[in-house]
Structure 1
Amino acid sequence: MSRLTPSRCFNTPRSLLAMAICMATLNPALADDNSETQEPSPAGTMELGATEISNSQLGSVTEGSKSYTTGTMSTATKLPLSMRETPQATTVITRQRMDDQGMTSINDVVNATPGLFLDYSNGPGRQTYSARGFDIDNLMYDGIPSGYQGWTVGAQPNLAMFDRVEVVRGATGLVTGSGNPSAAINMVRKRPLAEQKVTLTGAAGSWDDYRGEIDVSSPLNSSGTLRGRVVTSYRDANSFIDDREEDHGLFYAVTEADLSEDTTLTLGFSHQKDKTNYFWGSSMVGLDGRHLDLSRSYNPGTDWENKDQEINTVFAELRQRLANDWKLQLNANYSEQNAIFQGSYQSRWAEDKSLGRTVYRSAHDENQAGLDAFASGPFDAFGRTHELVVGASERIYDMTDHNYSPYDLEWPLDGGKPNFVHTGNSRAVTTQNGVYMTTRLNLADPLKLILGGRLDWYDYDDKESSEGDYKVTRNVTRYAGLIYDLDEHHSAYVSFSDIFTPQTAKDASGKRIKPIVGKNYEVGIKGEYFDGALNASLALFRVDQENRAASLIDKSGCVDQTNCSEASGEVRSQGIDLELQGALTENWQIGGGYTYAPVHTIKDDANPQNENQRFDTDTPEHLFKLTTTYHFQGPLEKLRVGGNVSWQSRMYNDIALADGSSYRLKQGAYAVTNLMAGYEVDEHLDLQLNANNIFDREYYSSISSSVDYGGDTYGTPRNLMLTAKYSF
């Protein structure tokens, strides 16, 4: 139990933000019924009433905590650290926050997480995610990386089976191996509860959007050493877009067994099936490059299109407690995804720029396997206790593409469904093995040093042609972070992390160009208040992505003139990250942040005119996101209200026109505001109404980059969702 008084807001070094938060919590109107009685004030002084915030030392599991933050997370380094102890910008989207905002898929998490951007430029159902200006190409499940290709088979994991989502921004090669210096998104699954609990959820919303969910958890024997949980969910929805339909189904089962006092085994399975008939086509712009300002309900697609995905996953975890507080953990994950796509988008490829369609069909079999084993624990040296993690991992990504014809760029606008014919398959297998080590050295009481290293072997095997094969041998990834405790609430830190991305480009001699390297430099200050119930952070960062392949202008000396480049490209992102998450008072939760991340091309020998220019103009440089929920007390104690606002700066694309000029197509800065009200009828039944985009802001979530194909995608108009939850 922490007690706040005005003097404590100023007696120790604090940031202005922290002092403002501290003083805000002293408002007597917000004090709970258990606040201590105010003592008489000495003459000439004034004291504000004290506020108590109770907190039972938050753990890593967020379900049932009613919190917007967590106690510990290990996504950044494998070490179980609090946010204050982690020398990178971090966010956790807790189970409570998912429920308050009515989140159902990872898209909703990305929309709500500070510093992350949801990009629909590849089509409304082919979403990609980015952070600090770079695409996120890995999603993690219980700490195991899984390749994500949003523009092809990228699925949207159903949130009904997750306890929380942990996000670490910047280069995360220590835990993911290869990838971009963007962010790690780690989805942590729900586990069986110690007690029996059944939760039934039903939801109904605008445009015939209906969802049902059953969540059952119980001990499976009298001693409670065997526990199980089953979650099922189904959603059937239409849309504000004419004739758009989608449905999402999930079955998730997990069991946990205490094999002994020191050994716990977890086994689980999930089946997810998603289908939509609107995923590729976006609206066109005019030949002059301007928005056509079509109705938001306009559907540029056809009635024969569909995107059908089915994913089956099995996973296991073995935790073994060893002597001297050491532990051994083994995680395994295997998934099979079968996906079928057939669709079209409006396009103008003909010389006369007449309106037609591009049509395409493909099928994909994606198999992913991941294995991660590590030991962790304390050790003594130089009179102090330190921590160490040593582990090894393996990832296998096996993709088979089933190709069809026609793939036609000039199909008639009203040409009907093509007679697609299977023409063959292609397959590629990527294997990545790594060993890693992380240690946290206790240099002094207020000073900690985190050092980490990883060694990776990367092998891409093109099963169709051996000419496409390539390897990266013994790539070294580094991690370093220094954390200094300024006082009992604040820490300052500096950190460096990197990550590598293999590339297929070749140099003049025909050899593969060395991998792209992403480096993240960060300095910041973090605050932790009310025993960890509230976390705040301020970070300055710079991300450099180097060795990007740039095509050689003079190819006369190249062995392969169709693939001849040099490692000379460099892109830089640098900016600021601000975040606040957790409890301002016992009844008031908040989560939000602001990110400024301009990205510029530093070096591009192939296109020197791009140097010092924005790297990606249709990604906003500024992002602000804020979510809050307040539970009333006294006669209105069953009522809670909340809301969230999301603001982003402008996006634009310079579109080339037929006469050789260009037109700057823009989506100006905009904000979207959502509101929520909930009422706890009794200990079993809870009702909640979410009103989204309450001001009915009309905006484009993505914009076109060419007059030849569509790219304008409208954001969702005002809508409502009513949710009823019954627990027993």
Structure 2
Amino acid sequence: MLRPVLPALSALVALGFSSQSIAAPVQQDLPDRPSATSPAQSGSDSANPAPGAVALEGLSINADYGIAGQATTESSGSYTTGSMNTATKLPLSIRETPQSVSVITRQRMDDQGMNDLNDVVKYAPGVTLHRTASDRQEFLARGFKIDNIMYDGLPSSISAYTQDVISGADLAMYDRVEVVRGATGLMTGAGSPAATLNLVRKHPTAVPQVSVTTSAGSWDRYRTEVDASNKLNDSGTVRGRVVAAYEDDKSFSDIRKNQRQTFYGILEADLNDSTTWTVGASKQRDDNTSDWGGLPSGPNGEDLHLKRSTFLSNDWSYWNKDNIMFFTDVTHRFDNGWSAKLAGQKIWAEADTFSSYIGNYDGLGFQQYHGKYRDDDDQTNLDASLTGPFQMFGREHELVVGVSHRQEKFHQWGGWTDGTPIDLYNPTHSLPKPDVDTSLYETRNAATEEGVYAAARLNPIDPLHVILGGRVSWYDYDNRVGDGDYKVVREVTPYAGVIYDLNETYSAYASYTEIFKPQTETDSSRSVLKPMTGKNYEIGLKGEYFDGALNASVALFEMEQENRAYQEQNQSAATCPGFPATSCYAAAGKVRSRGIDTELSGALTPDWQVSASYTYVLSQFVEDGIKSNEGKLFAPEQPKHLFKAATSYTLPGELHKWRVGADVLAQSKTFNRVGDGQADQDAYGIVGLMAGYKLNEHWDGRVNVNNLFDKRYWQGIPKESGTGVYGDPRNLMFSVKWTL
């Protein structure tokens, strides 16, 4: 498993010590970035580079990119960030963070025309978007499902039910999305070891800022965004921002369509020179004509060769969603460099569904079933923290300590109908709307988690940095319509990382992180199984060029999840009370995921942004109740090899108003086991192109071509008792932006 990465590691280390290294120490007093028509930017003055520039085989690169330590990506024009705190809550650069971390910046979102979180996951390094229906999806990484999403650092839970409501977040209100791959128990508490996505909201500006963006594209897709920000008093101590977006989309899929309305407002007030209060709210409403399930495979995974446009629900189907958020925080900065922050967030998410799905459950052929459900999901998050420097043994270090409270109340009820035979190749789309008894099913539960956490960045000698931390969690699950209540008391989640600066450009690191995930299955004594434990081991090398404007990393990781529930074999009423109505489980399952994570992101020149990543993952059963599973892939729907890249280049000289870009997504073969066979997706690659033209300082136009070669591929492979969805065919999107 190590062989593919050794040449990359060797090359990166060699660069760090080579006299030909492209990165020299960057001075802080460099001249300002040249204008769009300057010789340095156009490349015509490469023989005599300006002070602070780096000559790379005749190409002059100015090193003053101006993002060192800067977290906000809006208006930076960059594909990377200077600071992020999703992994440890300490404000660290990507190089200083001892985990695989990435960022999708505002500039990258705009260049690729990303509109919601699904687009981010599709293009972000090391993560995979897996659709199970037109408006149902899973986020995957390193062999596991992602079940934590953060908003401004406050975690929210997503599950099989709430994923569809919470994860379709419109990007109009966000500055960037930070991604931490691997276990994140220090910051999130309970969850899977896959990854965590942190959506960071836009904040008000003290100068006037107004933009209007309109887009139109294939299949009658239309979108408009309005974004306005300014100070609200003469002194600028009160600032405000509003963002609104409206989207009206049809689809390559027959019948399906979506209307989305998004509103976001935020106020920021300096109560005094040391204290800032922020308060805001957002509302997103989606009205969808949508299916409940996608397109099926045959009983044993056979490709049924359905048209990509096939829609197997009805024209009266709907899947409507409401997501309201309220958030606030108060930050106080002390004179000694410390700061205190109290933050809170409330989420009210609802889904109202009446739609159809396809099944072949009785072996008599495919039938259309109807279901009508209502979901209510309320989440509350509170967090209080202290962050600052301290002195020990004559050196300065950093510390963060905090407490958190997180609660989710979930309620779902509804019902379904018997199946009606359907012709998959000639669906009617207009069956009469049936009567559905919505009292057939109900689940109601509440999960409460409280935690105390701390992390310290110790600097014992100049090149060595040690991050030590941990979290103690209390978890309480209350099943309000039946049995299954349980508690987890004083669950300890450690965090450890070591970073050694090899020189002023490169650092080597190693880290160990954990996370726990409660489970509801019971054993033969009817006791709830103890939580699963996820462990993440990682070693790597990171490089930082041009004052942080370009970041590179390569990592080896190994992850294990232990205590996984598996159903006991050869059960009977004597060995499992309540059998066959209920089954008994054992917490003895174990899976392992190993791989390589590499990434390059940021500016190669002031006019050339790039993001490229390659991920290799091998995920296998180590211990399982079915011995024949051991050694097999446990997540075959996730690719072993995943490559993603995107780039944007502003042309030099007289063509400086033009910019061009491209993106590539390529992955190896994947499959899902179905019946006695499997549904397959062969290796594939899709290509996108972008071209933009800046007419003047106010007007800018852009066109995006997606899936240029019209590749037919599954974005969610059909699985046992389930369905999948094809990826979008070739399509165009035109956008025009006016800026004040």
What interval of TM-score do these two structures reach, taking the shorter chain for normalisation?
over 0.9
Correspondence for 2:672: 653
Letter in 2 for 1:616: A
Quick one: distance in 2 between partners of 1:277 and 1:585?
Answer: 45
Q: Write the deviation string for residues 195-231 of structure 1: whole angstroms up to 9, x where unpaired.
A: 0111011000001000011101010000000000000
Partners of 2:408 and 2:19 in 1: how far apart?
45
Aligned counterpart in structure 2 of residue 612 of structure 1, from 626, 631, 645 = 631
Q: Which amino acid aligns with 1:565?
A: Y
Aligned partner of 1:625 in structure 2 is 644
The alpha carbon displacement at 1:51 in A equals 2.8
Residue 659 of structure 2 corresponds to 640
Residue correspondence of structure 1 range 412-491 to structure 2 within 5 A: 412-413=421-422, 416-423=432-439, 425-465=442-482, 467-491=483-507
Distance 2:518 2:299 in 1: 38
Mapping for residues 28-177 of structure 1, pairs under 5 Å? 32=42, 35=45, 37-38=47-48, 48=58, 50-58=60-68, 59-120=70-131, 122-152=132-162, 154-155=164-165, 156-177=168-189
Task: Between 50-59 and 312-321, report the one with greater CA deviation.
Answer: 50-59
Q: C-alpha displacement at 1:666, in angstroms?
A: 1.5
Distance verdict in 2 for CA 1:619–1:30, change over 3 Å: farther
Distance 1:548 1:47 in 2: 53
Could you tell me how far apart the structure 1 residues matched to 2:457 and 2:199 are? 24
Equivalent in the alignment of 1:667: 681
Q: Are the structure 2 counterparts of residues 590 and 584 from structure 1 closer, same or farther at C-alpha, using a change threshold of 3 Å?
A: same
Cα deviation code 1:456-497 (max 9, x no counterpart) = 0000111222x2211101100000000000000000000000
Residue 582 (structure 2) pairs with residue 566 (structure 1):
no
More deviation, 13-22/395-404: 13-22
Partner Cα separation in structure 1 for residue 20 and residue 190 of structure 2: 41
2:603 counterpart of 1:583:
yes
Deviates more, 1:233-242 or 1:616-625: 616-625
SS of corresponding position for 2:521: coil
User: CA 1:11–1:255 in 2, change beyond 3 Å: closer, same or farther?
Assistant: closer
**How far does residue 138 in structure 1 lie from its aligned partner after superposition?**
1.0
Q: 2:560 aligns with which of 509, 531, 544?
A: 544
Task: Note if contact 2:46-2:58 (Cα within 8 Å) is conserved in structure 1.
Answer: no
1:302 and 1:74 map into 2 onto residues whose CA distance is: 46
Distance 1:11 1:112, change over 3 A: closer
1:676-704 CA distance string (max 9 Å, x none): 00000000000000011111111222222
SS of corresponding position for 1:97: helix
Aligned partner letter, 1:650: K
- Tell me, yes or no, if the aligned pair for 1:696 and 1:717 is still in contact at 8 Å: yes
Out of 678, 685, 689, the position equivalent to 2:692 is 678
Residue of structure 2 in register with 1:524 after alignment:
540
Alignment equivalent of 1:691, drawn from 705, 714, 717: 705
**1:365 partner SS:** strand
Distance, in Å, in 2 between the alignment partners of 1:610 and 1:727 is: 57
Counterpart in 1 of 2:382? 371
Q: Identity of paired residues, percent?
A: 45
The residue aligned with 1:703 is: 717
* C-alpha separation in 2, matches of 1:321 and 1:13: 43
Q: Please say if residues 291 and 356 of structure 2, whose CA atoms lie closer than 8 Å, have aligned partners that are also in contact.
A: no
1:311 is aligned, of 317, 320, 323, to: 323
Partner amino acid, structure 1, of 2:687: T
Q: In the alignment, is the contact (CA less than 8 A) between 1:271 and 1:310 conserved in 2?
A: yes
User: Aligned partner of 1:726: which letter?
Assistant: W
Give 2:448's aligned amino acid.
T
1:258 aligns with 2:270: yes
Structure 2 gap segments, 5+ residues each: 1-10, 25-37, 50-55, 423-427
Deviation at 1:365, TM superposition (A): 1.1
Matched residue of 2:74: which SS?
Answer: coil
Q: 1:87 to 1:19 in 2, by over 3 A?
A: farther
Instruction: Give the alignment's TM-score, normalised by structure 2.
Output: 0.91
Once the two structures are superposed, residues 392-415 of structure 1 have per-residue CA deviations (whole angstroms, 9 ceiling, x without a partner) of: 0000101111223xx235234375
Report how far residue 305 of structure 1 moved: 1.2
Structure 1 residue 171, shift from structure 2 partner: 0.2
Query: Take 1:19 and 1:578, find their aligned partners in 2: how far apart are those partners?
Result: 22
**Alpha-carbon distance in structure 2 between the residues aligned to 1:702 and 1:206:** 22
3-state SS, counterpart of residue 111 of structure 1: helix
Structure 1 position 723 matched with structure 2 position 724? no
Which deviates more from structure 2 when the two are superposed, residues 330-339 or residues 638-647?
A: 330-339
Q: Specify which of 295, 301, 308 is matched with residue 296 of structure 1.
A: 308
Distance (whole Å) between structure 1 residues aligned to residue 112 and residue 685 of structure 2: 17
Per-residue deviation at 1:11? 13
Question: Shift in Å at residue 20 of structure 1?
Answer: 8.5
**Deviation digits for residues 569-603 of structure 1, max 9, x if unmatched?**
00100000000010011110001200001110000
Question: How far apart are residue 385 of structure 1 and its match?
Answer: 0.7
Amino acid aligned to 1:432: E
The whole-number CA distance in structure 2 between the counterparts of 1:426 and 1:552 is: 25
Contact 2:412 2:444 in 1 (8 A): yes
Aligned to 2:361: 349
Structure 2 Cα separation of the partners of residues 181 and 508 of structure 1? 28
**Cα separation, 1, equivalents of 2:374 and 2:734:** 37
Within 2, Cα distance between the matches of 1:280 and 1:356? 14
* SS of the residue 1:324 aligns to: coil
Task: Give the whole-Å Cα distance in 2 for the aligned partners of 1:279 and 1:300.
Answer: 7
TM-score, normalisation: structure 1: 0.92
User: CA shift at 1:234, angstroms?
Assistant: 0.4
User: Which amino acid letter does the alignment assign opposite residue 317 of structure 2?
Assistant: E
Match of 2:136, SS state, is coil
1:281 aligned to 293, 301, 304, which one?
293
Counterpart Cα distance in 1 of 2:281 and 2:213: 21
Maintained 8 Å contact 1:12/1:487: no
Instruction: After TM superposition, give the deviation of residue 154 of structure 1 in Å.
Output: 2.5
Q: Which residue of 2 aligns with 1:659?
A: none
**SS, match of residue 734 in structure 2:** strand
Q: Report how many aligned residue pairs link the two structures.
A: 696
Match of 1:671, SS state, is: strand
Q: Is the 8 A contact 1:347 1:409 kept in 2?
A: no
Deviates more, 1:504-513 or 1:666-675: 504-513
8 Å CA contact 2:261, 2:286 repeated in 1: yes
Does 2:284 align with 1:268? no
Q: Does 1:193 align with 2:188?
A: no
Amino acid in the other structure paired with 2:563: N
Deviation, structure 1 residue 350: 2.9
Whole-Å separation in 2 of the counterparts to 1:326 and 1:314: 27
Match of 2:32 in 1: none
Residue 501 (structure 1) shift: 0.3
Within the candidate set 498, 514, 521, 1:498 is matched to 514
Corresponding residue number in structure 1 for 2:417: 408
Change (3 A) 1:50 1:214: closer
Q: Secondary structure at the match of 1:165?
A: strand
Partner of 2:547, secondary structure, is helix
Q: Deviations over 1:630-680 (max 9, x none)?
A: 011210010000010000111123432xxxxx3343210000000000000
Structure-2 separation of matches of 1:163 and 1:433: 29
Q: Aligned partners of 2:507, 2:626: CA distance in 1, in Å?
A: 43
4+ aligned runs moved over 6 Å, structure 1 = 16-23
* Structure 2 counterpart of 1:74, one-letter code: N
Q: Which residue matches 2:257?
A: 245
For residue 57 of structure 1, report the CA deviation from its aligned partner. Answer: 3.4
Aligned CA-pair RMSD: 2.3
